[in-house]
Amino acid sequence: MDRRATLMLAVLALLLAGLSALWMFQGLGAGNRGFILSLRATKLAALVTVAVAIGVATVLFQTVAANRVLTPSIMGFDALYVLMQTLMIVLLGNAGFAGLSAGPKFGIDVGVMTALAVVLFGTLLAKGARDIPRMILTGVILGVLFRSVSQFLGRVLDPNEFAVVQAVSFASFNRVDAALLPVAGVLTAVAVMAAIRLSPQLDVLALGRESAVSLGLRYRALVMGTLALVAMLVSVSTALVGPVAFFGLIVAGLAHGAMQNARHAGLIPAAGLIAAILLVGGQWLFERILGQAATLSVVVEFAGGLFFLYLLLKGRIR
């Protein structure tokens, strides 16, 4: 990594550390310190986990798709996860669904999700994604398909079960499933470490299929492996806060802009840090300053949606 990249990462890390301190200790009253601190720490951990998962997943996916407009959620990854959840509720019933203990259930979720995503998106991407409009269209159609099947299943369910489905299908940074946090954190850490280890290969992958094959990269295997990592990370973020469509797009755009260097060894940490800064900073602002007057997820999606349009209008579909 060059000096500029290292410096940038250091600045981002400092910024995140500062925000985290602010999050933890700002407005801390005299009473009940221990309790409030532990509440805040849990929330902070959740926000950082989700942020890193979304940021890194998006950077990885954009490398595989050779394009800066697509994100896993635009391609329907998280809709797939929600569909899977709904199916589980349908198959097991609400009691069965709730009865499964969080850890193993989540493990199964992630496993199934990863397998599905690799099969589905692997076949779409393994030949080298050149036809971008077709990709976007396929993704949108898959997303709509998954969502409508989920909704249809939701309608067949009784109201109690439907409420559970509803809860998993909308993003909220306020409702975090704390029971999942340890598993989710470990999974995210593992996936991010694997991605960083793969980063020299990912740099070659980013050259496009032909150059990568010519340089002796095992293209197909790497595409599949990377998609598996993406699926793991999306499962984590969707399980914790629900589907978030455009946040990753902002993060990946900012990461590329901040690093000015296509090396994944820098891009991946940068994306994680930037995402965490945005989420922790944003949630702090909305929760403590604006007093929940607006919801962070809505604002993030709105800004991200605008950014998506901007990219499309600028013709940056590459």
Measure the CA–CA gap between 73 and 257, rounded to whole angstroms: 21
Shortest distance (Å) from residue 201 CB to other proteins? 7
What is the 3-state secondary structure of 191-248?
HHHHHHHCHHHHHHHCCCHHHHHHCCCCHHHHHHHHHHHHHHHHHHHHHHHCCCCCHH
Burial class (CB within 10 angstroms; exposed 0-12, middle 13-18, buried 19+) of 221: exposed
Measure the CA–CA gap between 40 and 24, rounded to whole angstroms: 6
Nearer to other proteins, 100 or 132 (CB): 132
Query: At 176, which amino acid appears?
Result: V
Nearer to other proteins, 29 or 216 (CB): 216
Nearer to other proteins, 129 or 176 (CB): 129
Shortest distance (Å) from residue 204 CB to other proteins? 6
Shortest distance (Å) from residue 122 CB to other proteins? 16
Shortest distance (Å) from residue 258 CB to other proteins? 13
Nearer to other proteins, 172 or 261 (CB): 261
Q: Which of 271, 256, 247 is nearest to 318 (CA)?
A: 256
Q: With contact defined as beta carbons under 8 Å apart, do 249 and 58 qualify?
A: yes
Nearer to other proteins, 93 or 128 (CB): 128
Residues making contact with other proteins (CB under 8 A): 63, 66-68, 200-201, 203-204, 206-211, 213-219, 256, 260, 262, 318
Nearer to other proteins, 70 or 244 (CB): 70
Shortest distance (Å) from residue 260 CB to other proteins? 8
Shortest distance (Å) from residue 207 CB to other proteins? 6
Q: Which residues have a Cβ under 8 Å from the Cβ of 24 and sit 6 or more positions away?
A: 37, 40, 41, 44
